[in-house]
Structure 1
């Protein structure tokens, strides 16, 4: 899906549009690269398992050893791409929800400083706050079936964010155990290389969820101009 062509008549500032476009286009590449990195990592481990079978009992194991090293390197790359994708997907989610929420609520445009801040990785608490807004309050221009699908996704992501905090509290290694401190921090602050990535289980569904907000903003504005909303802007 392409980034929408917002017209000058849209009640958005140039910076709001630029911010939406910047994170949207960035996520397109990061999403594909993350999928490729995951596939590469899985491929090396499958090859290693095969090599271990045919070299079993032999004195020289250069092949499985090399593939094992490649697997470790690919894991590191996958994790780096995953963290980069998390930072941008979480920011795109909060930015998109914030802009759509202010349009639906009829509030004035945000300041340049506020928009710039929303383009950075949010705290887990800020992400939870954004995901706590029901889709019935955001996707007012959509049919009920469409809203229900995204509402299910929203609730799942909200549960996953809460799971991130629960998992982070058990890491140790300088990561706080207090929930309030964890909600006030960012996932990237608490992730540790010797544990499973904290974004496991949430990044996959968050990427497509974050992806759809520029088009939801565009759809809302189109329907509003047609007078197809309960309270047109």
Structure 2
């Protein structure tokens, strides 16, 4: 499954809606300045508020499934390459839920040299850089969340044990900001990598040094 584009360049995305509403509101504010009736401005202000909620909702929904895809994909690929038994149906079902930030950190802590053993070194090195950058970004979420207050735990241990969607607050910048764009392409790779490993394994084309 390919995740939809989640960039400001996309013509119709959750990000485009609030940005356009902000521009309309700014134009209306200039147009109605000094006038008694400002219904246009009131309507656009409400539109901006609704757009904020829409953007946040889409972002959090995307985070839930993308983070679960990373943890589930890592777990499956780790077992396949390590020659361990497959996950049970119950375990897979549990891993389809949004992971805690600690679970996501643990998944991102496995080096690509351990997971992408059927790939060329150059390919592994490129993905290893992406993994490290994403892990660092997730660690940054903890630092930001610790400063929120408003019922959000202030200790690292409690934050790692919780889920991002439970800590997000509407009156602050989204905790996923700057991380989601890295998480999505990372999540997308796992079906292909699992398939590639199995294909190479059946063809007897795996390297001799198989991780145990």
Report the TM-score, using the length of structure 2 for normalisation: 0.90
Return the offset for 1:98.
0.7
8 Å CA contact 1:31–1:85 kept in 2: the answer is no
Q: Is 1:161 the equivalent of 2:161?
A: no
Q: Which residue of 2 aligns with 1:9?
A: none
* Unaligned 5+ runs, structure 1: 1-23
Cα distance, 1:87 vs structure 2: 0.6
Deviation (angstroms), 1:156: 1.2
Q: Distance in 2 between matches of 1:123 and 1:188?
A: 10
Matched, 1:80 2:61: no
- Alignment of 1:93 onto 2:37: no
Matched, 1:68 2:45: yes
Give the 3-state SS of the residue equivalent to 2:175 in structure 1: coil
Task: Report Cα offsets for 1:123-179 as digits up to 9, x if no partner.
Answer: 111100000011111111222222222212111110111111111111111111111
Q: Is 1:225 aligned to residue 199 of structure 2?
A: no
Offset of 1:36 from its aligned partner?
1.0
Residue aligning to 1:148: 125
Structure 2 residue aligned with 1:186: 163
Cα distance in structure 2, aligned partners of 1:82 and 1:30? 12
RMSD across aligned C-alpha pairs, in angstroms? Answer: 2.1
CA contact (8 A) 1:157 1:202 kept: yes
List alignment gaps of at least 5 residues for structure 2. none
> Matches of 1:152 and 1:69 in 2, distance apart?
42
| TM score, norm. by length of structure 1 | 0.82
Residues 30, 81 of structure 1: 8 Å contact kept: no
